[in-house]
Chain A
Amino acid sequence: MNNNVMRSDLGKVQGLGSAKHGVGHWKIQRITAIGMVPLVLWFIPSLLITILSGYSESIGWIKNPFNATGLILLIGTLFFHASLGLQVVIEDYVHSEGFKIISITFIKLLSILLGVLSILCVLKICL
């Protein structure tokens, strides 16, 4: 018997290994974080310049395909990253199992809703 392997006796008898995706959440949270760094550094100055110059300038800014691409990537990454982060916060502080599952599901559905809505509005402006 190899005592260095951290597996239960029952798991060994049943031939069960790890599910191989235990680090999935952690990894995607970091990947989206890395993605957010350039997106935010690009978006905030552009947003400030556009928003201060008025409606038609903002529309024109979104109509540029490079800006629209950046904006859609930002929206997707933002809501992905936010839902992963809020999930961890809920898992840490909500101790009722039922309410935990309901609130995490709600956060994920709401993130998808807001992401789709924003992306659709970007497409409506630039198409």
Chain B
Amino acid sequence: MNRPRPLSPHLQIYKPQITSVLSILHRMTGVSLSIGSLIIVAWIVSLSLGVESYSYFMSITDHWFSHLALFGFSFALYYHLSNGIRHLFWDAGFGFELKHVYMSGSIVVASAFIMTILTWYFVYFF
């Protein structure tokens, strides 16, 4: 009796949909933000240690690679913020209709992009 039991279809069989992609993105951005919170810790610690360590911290963040990482961090933050609010609406019992799920998903992605672009426009042009 070694007949293999039926398995549920593996994840990679499924066609990616906006619902599932946004769902896993919420987790991935959450984990990334947890790691990225070390940047905020480093900022506060370097500030408290004095002007020399703060300059050292700022010289690291001025590198183009740091800008790229911070760009990713800002997008992850705005995405997790927007989609988190979407989750809170679901927790309160609103927005379960499929068309509303699609609509709120599009709003989340759009607002994450808009806030990211506005942030970096501010950083470079002000």
Q: Which residues of A contact B (CB under 8 A)?
A: 30, 33-34, 36-37, 40-41, 44, 47-48, 51-52, 55, 58-59, 62, 71, 75, 78-79, 82, 85-86, 89, 114, 117-118, 121-122, 124-125
Contacts and interface: CB of A to CB of B under 8 A. Distances in A.
Contacts of A71: 44
A52 B123 contact: yes
B119 to A, nearest CB: 7
15 contacts: A30-B88, A33-B84, A36-B84, A51-B43, A55-B47, A55-B54, A62-B47, A78-B37, A82-B30, A89-B31, A117-B41, A117-B45, A122-B44, A124-B48, A125-B48
Nearest to A92: B27
Interface in B58-92: 77, 81, 84-85, 87-88, 91
Contacts of A55: 47, 51, 54-55
Given A40-B81, A117-B41, A122-B44, A82 B34 contact: yes
